[in-house]
């Protein structure tokens, strides 16, 4: 390992070269920083040396995948090439705020397993603050006086990898990687990180600028393939947290929504596939019924009774 590298920043990329250049430009050009860009076979990648000036920096490395497998695979490649003791992740259409330099100076020798940061949430066209996608900003704002609940939400409910500075050795020790799913590839990474990180710090500074952009992966159409991936990801999360004694995690917004979607469509075949998948992953029939009925009746008296009985 290169002993001069303290921070490795991993950025998956697909077909937004100008935004990638903005992201790279926001990263300080320091000898202790390694920047890893992993391109997921963008069609214009052969022109990147011309249209992305920041790729020419000495501390920036570009890797191109052999086969398109989306951002989870790209992030795993980044981890394999990382040399720093701290890992950070960014999406190529976002960027880091100016405090990153101060943060790097302060945390170089810190003994935490993970540091959680805040973020500014902006519209990518206007650069104005937006109410969409508020996490983790809403957590820091609402839970300033409840640090225990803030820590729980950052460990287990905040599923994105950005705004987290993670010790590389801790990830490798516990074999924590990204799932290579069509959606929510970062969910497993985040809750495993939350579970295994022994010493964490919550820093309210806005390290990161998350940009709300139409056409991003998070805005993709909810096809059957996407819905099946979603229900599998959150069922595995539910079972892991249940089996490891983490209370209060309630996945009805993800699992219950998918079941309700197919029930309303009268798509019995796809609904049965969902039920079989949930049982295969490890949910009981009682748990599945609860997730479905709680979501169906959540704003009614019946829903309140179900919730009271379950809790």
Tokens of 145: 């006086």
**Residue intervals in the chain for CATH 3.90.550.10:** 7-216
Distances (CA, A) of 79 to 9, 85, 89, 201, 242: 9, 11, 10, 22, 28
- Yes or no: say if 104 and 121 are a contact pair by the CB < 8 Å rule: no
- State the fold for domain 7-216: Spore Coat Polysaccharide Biosynthesis Protein SpsA; Chain A (3.90.550)
pLDDT-derived band of residue 1, with 50, 70 and 90 as boundaries?
very low
In the predicted structure, residue 8 carries a pLDDT above the cut 50 = yes
pLDDT-derived band of residue 29, with 50, 70 and 90 as boundaries?
very high
pLDDT-derived band of residue 216, with 50, 70 and 90 as boundaries?
low
- For the entire predicted model, the pTM comes to 0.91
Mean pLDDT of 230-236: 96
Count of C-beta atoms within a 10 Å radius of residue 205: 15
Task: Give the model confidence (pLDDT) of 101-135 as tens digits.
Answer: 999 999 999 999 999 999 999 988 899 988 766 78
pLDDT of residue 291: 83
Share of the chain above pLDDT 90, in %: 72
Task: Give the model confidence (pLDDT) of 236-246 as tens digits.
Answer: 999 999 999 99
Strand order in the sheet with 95-96: 60-64, 33-39, 7-13, 86-89, 164-167, 114-123, 200-212, 95-96
pLDDT of residue 298: 56
CA distance 95 to 32: 19
pLDDT-derived band of residue 302, with 50, 70 and 90 as boundaries?
very low
pLDDT-derived band of residue 311, with 50, 70 and 90 as boundaries?
very low
């Amino acid at each position: 390992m290169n002993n001069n590298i303290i921070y490795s920043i991993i950025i998956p990329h697909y077909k937004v070269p100008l935004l990638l250049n903005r992201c790279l430009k926001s990263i300080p050009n320091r000898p202790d920083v390694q920047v890893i860009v992993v391109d997921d076979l963008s069609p214009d990648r052969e022109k990147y040396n011309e249209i992305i000036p920041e790729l020419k920096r000495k501390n920036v490395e570009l890797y191109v995948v052999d086969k398109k497998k989306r951002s989870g695979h790209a992030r795993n490649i980044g981890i394999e090439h990382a040399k720093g003791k701290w890992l950070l992740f960014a999406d190529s259409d976002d960027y880091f705020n100016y405090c990153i330099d101060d943060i790097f100076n302060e945390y170089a020798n810190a003994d935490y397993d993970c540091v959680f940061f805040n973020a500014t949430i902006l519209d990518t066209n206007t650069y104005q603050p937006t109410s969409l996608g508020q996490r983790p900003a809403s957590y820091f704002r609402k839970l300033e006086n409840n640090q225990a609940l803030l820590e729980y939400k950052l460990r287990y409910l905040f599923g994105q990898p950005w705004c987290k500075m993670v010790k590389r050795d801790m990830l490798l020790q516990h074999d924590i990687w990204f799932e290579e799913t069509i959606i929510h590839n970062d969910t497993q990474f985040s809750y495993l990180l939350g579970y295994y990180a022994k010493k964490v710090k919550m820093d309210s500074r806005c390290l990161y600028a998350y940009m709300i952009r139409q056409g991003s992966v998070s805005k993709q159409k909810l096809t059957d393939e996407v819905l099946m991936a979603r229900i599998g990801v959150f069922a595995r999360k539910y079972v892991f947290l249940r089996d490891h004694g983490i209370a209060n995690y309630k996945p009805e917004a993800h699992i219950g929504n998918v079941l309700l979607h197919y029930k309303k469509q009268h798509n019995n075949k796809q609904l049965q596939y969902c039920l079989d998948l949930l049982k295969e992953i490890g949910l009981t029939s009682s748990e599945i019924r609860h997730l479905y009925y709680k979501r169906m009746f959540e704003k009614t008296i019946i829903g309140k009774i179900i919730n009271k009985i379950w809790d």
